[in-house]
A and B are shown apart, each in its own frame.
Chain A
Amino acid sequence: MPPSDEDAPLVVEGGVAKTNAPVSSAVAEPEATTLRHEPHEPARTHLPAKLYDARKTVHNKRIDGPFRRFKWAVMVITLAIYYVTPWLRWDRGPFTPDQAVLVDLANRRFYMFDIEIWPHEFYFVAGLLIMAGIGLFLVTSAVGRAWCGYACPQTVWTDLYQHIDRLIDGDRNARIRLEAAPWTFGKVMRRAFKWSIYLAIAFATGGAWILYFADAPTLLREFFSLQAAPVAYATVGVLTATTFTLGGFMREQVCIYMCPWPRIQTAMLDEKSLIVTYKDWRGEPRASLKKAERKPGQFGDCIDCTQCVQVCPTGIDIREGPQIGCITCALCIDACDKVMADIGRPRGLIDYATLEASERQAAGEPAQPAWKALLRLRTIVYFLIWASIGFALLFMLGARSRTELTVSPDRNPPYMLMRDGSVRNSYTLKLRNMRGEPREMEVEIEGLPGGVMWTDSIALAEAAVAQRFEVPADLVKTVRVYVMAPSSTTTQEFSFRLTSLDAERETDEVETRFDAPGVTP
């Protein structure tokens, strides 16, 4: 039943006339569908009486279905990764830690299984962040806000807390009744019990975080014997508080009001992205089963059972169209499919669909399989960029040298005279050994005729063109080197060449300057 003009009075807002008509009327007219993705103000079911609307607690109903099972799987996998990873061990020899994933801030090393990153290799992390960014473009342009719906920590922990609600207080109706009930002793005890579980989960979440930054078993022992660093307690405190608050109480408000991702992701969607869509051209106008039986042919498939609203973890009505509150978790699809199966109507009244496909289907064309929306130029280009960055990083990882030499000449004095009139320059060499075992390295002077070197621990009498150094495992050895050349030497360039004296024989060469009295060339 399309609403008439009489019961939908016009309201003028900012010079634009808007109607107060229910949303379904906007698409009830055939021509309205042609403007589906045009920037038009969606009609509202009501005009807000005041600007502030108090939050209504979301009591989402239990549902089962393919998407709910997928969400379960993602939740189990992501939580398992988060809680288990710090406990994985990885043997790297006697000189480096044996924790598989470790961000060693104190020693400035990042370990991830067989990969060890030093601070000067931070571009690997930058590359991963760029991949994460492009990956987000890719996923969003293909399947919309899939990150929000399944993998975001806020979503996963909110989901976990909602399961706790269901476990302790029962399903949707029981929870609604309990919330409305007066604060009897029983309710206080029940709430205290539930919030204690909230707190325990929050504490485990904050506690697991710090285990990534130190040896997990050691830190855990120190933590509970009150010997850990204050920053460990502070970190656990802050993360426990945020998890307890954001996951236990604020939940969907974080997504709707606090998080910038929905805004960014919304901007990255286009008319070819798969989003959770209520197929209004099929569902409207709504009518209960009985009503539809009385007047067959006049109503759409939606029986207004509001199952889609009841299962929604953010408490929205997907039938109002795409909106910022929709995290596209697709639980409404599960709910609606179940109802459609029960009443013998085809599934997919709510389904993943692109705006473009929606327009075509609304115009009467047959539906195409959803996976076809995934393969298009934009997603393929994103994928190629994403994959080539990944391959470039892998290549760099395989080709990187585990040895490096840096040279800084003394500037003051630039040179000194020796007894016999020879000229001496001083240099600070840094020999980097990124391997997990001590290595012997040789440093040689190249391109300085008559040049010899010695150090603060190798006497002048043993000065030679090349010297050997023992560099400890996974460290940089700093050596002061003195280079002497005959008195006839003029200011010139020369180089130090580093060679590791092991099977790899990695080399590095650094050009530097030898200063001498006399005319600068």
Chain B
Amino acid sequence: MIEPTPLVSMDLRAYVRPTLTNDWLWGGDLATIHQTIEHGIRWEGTGETRSSTMPGFAGIWDSVELDAIASHVLSFTGKGESSALGAQLYADNCVSCHGSDGAGDRAQGAPALNDAIWLYGGTREDIRDQVLHPRHGVMPEWQSRLDPVTIKMLAAYVHSLGGGENFVEAPVEETADTPDATE
């Protein structure tokens, strides 16, 4: 019995690339995608790059507190039992970005914690690791390497991969005179 091997943006622990389905860190409408491609994420040297930094808690929380926070995070998806300590720690340290129900905040690029998509893994161990030593993925900016038209086409393409949000009505195409879908 062989499972199909996921290769791209599937096994997130191994590849650490965001999916482009419907889980958007910064937003999935055309303008947001376009800006992300133009300026990148955490890319030094451009002022408009998207930036968010989760602080690490190594040396601040002990093992019991880490377990409590991981349990509380897992409780959003019903995989853990929250405790008073966990809820308190979450409310004091995490809620401003990730929200009280773990929905995340696109304005800050804070990932949702209440869904099935985990950028750096969704097990208790993965969550503890991320709280202790947060990893911050980097995406380069493309505006200095691709021309504006290409970036627009790229944004439209990413938007078309099934997770696009806020569709705009396409103008009526004149297919009769310009047949482009010939076999």
Contacts and interface: CB of A to CB of B under 8 A. Distances in A.
Contacts of A419: 21-23, 112, 115-117
Contact of A460 (B1, B19, B162, B179): B162
A418 interface: yes
Given A432-B183, A475-B181, A416 B21 contact: yes
B1 to A, nearest CB: 6
Nearest to A424: B21
A512 to B, nearest CB: 15
A480 B181 CA distance: 13
Considering residues B10, B160, B181, which has the most beta carbons from chain A within 10 angstroms of its beta carbon?
B181
A119 B182 CA distance: 11
Contacts, number: 100
Given A459-B167, A520-B2, A418 B22 contact: yes
Nearest to A414: B4
Interface in A51-100: 94-95
Contacts of B21: 416-419, 424
B23 A418 contact: yes
B8 A413 contact: yes
At the interface, is chain B mostly helix, strand, loop or mixed?
loop
Contact of A108 (B116, B176, B183): B183
B183 A517 contact: no
A421 B78 CA distance: 13
Nearest to B183: A476
A517 B116 CA distance: 13
Contacts of A155: none
Range class of the A interface residue count: 35 or more
A477 B181 contact: yes
Nearest to B24: A419
A413 B116 contact: no
Interface string B39-54: 0000000000000000
Interface string B6-36: 1111100000000101110000000000000
B3 interface: yes
A244 interface: no
Nearest to A478: B181
Contacts of A473: 176
B117 A413 contact: no
A517 B2 CA distance: 11
A424 B165 CA distance: 16
Given A415-B6, A515-B4, A519-B1, 17 more contacts: A107-B179, A412-B8, A413-B9, A416-B21, A417-B10, A417-B117, A421-B115, A424-B162, A432-B183, A458-B167, A459-B164, A459-B167, A460-B163, A460-B165, A475-B183, A477-B181, A491-B4
| 10 interchain residue pairs of minimum CB distance | A421-B116, A456-B160, A482-B162, A419-B115, A414-B4, A476-B183, A472-B175, A459-B167, A419-B23, A416-B21
8 contacts: A413-B10, A419-B117, A457-B160, A460-B164, A460-B165, A472-B175, A487-B116, A519-B1
